[in-house]
Amino acid sequence: MSKGQDRLSALMARGAAFLGAETAILAGAMSWVSERNLVAAVSNAGGFGVIACGAMTPALLDAEIAGTKALTDRPFGVNLITMHPDLIDLIDMCAKHGVGHVVLAGGLPPGGAIDRIKASGAKVICFAPAMALAKKLIRSGVDALVIEGMEAGGHIGPVSTSVLAQEMLPEIAGTLPVFVAGGIGRGEAIAGYLEMGAAGVQLGTRFVCAHESIAHPAFKKAFLRASARDAVASVQIDARLPVIPVRALKNASTELFTAKQREVAGSLDEGKVAMAEAQLQIEHYWAGALRRAVIDGDVENGSVMAGQSVGMVTKEEPTTEIIATLLSQAAAALESRAAF
């Protein structure tokens, strides 16, 4: 082993042990994309795959976990959205299968969710977009945190990964494992965040064009053609309808989303819908739009969620290659830094 590889293994040891994987590279759950094939491929390649439950029913999640287990003996996780109406049943489904890691996304977990997961023996991973929230989650007993910057694909917060990493790693990385996400396209960045105290990293965009990803060929082609500046955040148009921004490739759906917000705001004006229902309609818009792009291949009218690292996705390749490339870039960076 080279000095760089040694250093990389040492820096990843804590995160890898936490995940039960060879490396501390998580493939973040991506709705419709992170199903059994990609998840198993990532875990088989030494990373840590995570099933995106999204809006799945407990029965569908049951089948997806079983399908993933048929493709890999290695550990993988399940990502659950906290506002899912059947959250407790989904947690119990993970427990039934002995899933070792549950990732809770989409806001503060409702009371009891963290304890219920922990009671099953699984570890709980949550997203912490700000320090105050991180501290609250740590007090609630989470086992690890993901800090994700606004460079990421999908739903995003307002702060960049580099700032979150500087603000949060020095304070919390000693308390529990912290994984850094958002905008990571190459191993040099992975080396940097590990040196800053991260236990590991989470990447989404970089895995979309893996051979094993079932994303429609048109969806992958859109990724291969795009550059960083094409991955833009959605814009909120009505102060009453808070929209969690979503980063996706610019296309006709960007305009459709504006039109959808106008329509929902109009219904609010006329008293046709209540606020909660209006906000739900906005969220449902994204779930449907992402499916249209990932599964049906309609990359104009669907939502092509992608992070700014999309410009570094230059070919379709096996998952093993993606992970091997990231690791060798990280090791080379650490080797050259060690030389001085």
Ligand X SMILES: Cc1cc2nc3c(=O)[nH]c(=O)nc-3n(C[C@H](O)[C@H](O)[C@H](O)COP(=O)(O)O)c2cc1C
Contacts with ligand X, residue ranges (CB under 6 A): 28-31, 33, 52, 54, 79, 105, 148, 151-154, 181-184, 202-206, 305-307, 309
Beta carbon nearer to ligand X, 11 or 299: 299
Beta carbon nearer to ligand X, 29 or 226: 29
Q: Which residue is nearest to ligand X (CB)?
A: 204
Beta carbon nearer to ligand X, 68 or 309: 309
Q: What is the 3-state secondary structure (H, E, C) of the chain?
A: CCHHHHHHHHHHHHHHHHHCCCCCEEECCCCCCCCHHHHHHHHHCCCEEEEECCCCCHHHHHHHHHHHHHHCCCCCEEEEECCCCCHHHHHHHHHHCCCCEEEEECCCCCCCHHHHHHHCCCEEEEECCCHHHHHHHHHHCCCEEEEECCCCCEECCCCCHHHHHHHHHHHHCCCCCEEEECCCCCHHHHHHHHHCCCCEEEECHHHCCECCCCCCHHHHHHHHHCCHHHEEECCCCCCCCCCCCEEEECCHHHHHHHHHHHHHHHHHHCCCCCHHHHHHHHHHHHHHHHHHHHCCCCCCCCCCECCHHHHHCCCCECHHHHHHHHHHHHHHHHHHHHCC
Q: Is the distance from CB of 251 to CB of 336 less than 8 angstroms?
A: no
CB of 197 to ligand X, least distance (A): 19
CB of 148 to ligand X, least distance (A): 5
CB of 126 to ligand X, least distance (A): 10
Beta carbon nearer to ligand X, 268 or 322: 322
Q: Is the distance from CB of 68 to CB of 96 less than 8 angstroms?
A: no
Beta carbon nearer to ligand X, 52 or 268: 52
Beta carbon nearer to ligand X, 8 or 105: 105
Q: Is the distance from CB of 191 to CB of 8 less than 8 angstroms?
A: yes
Q: What number of residues does the chain have?
A: 340
Beta carbon nearer to ligand X, 158 or 266: 158
Beta carbon nearer to ligand X, 87 or 268: 87
CB of 202 to ligand X, least distance (A): 5
Beta carbon nearer to ligand X, 105 or 334: 105
CB of 279 to ligand X, least distance (A): 18
Alpha-carbon radius of gyration of the chain: 19
- Tokens standing for 173? 């990385």
CB of 287 to ligand X, least distance (A): 9
CB of 114 to ligand X, least distance (A): 16
CB of 325 to ligand X, least distance (A): 15
Q: Is the distance from CB of 180 to CB of 165 less than 8 angstroms?
A: yes
CB of 186 to ligand X, least distance (A): 11
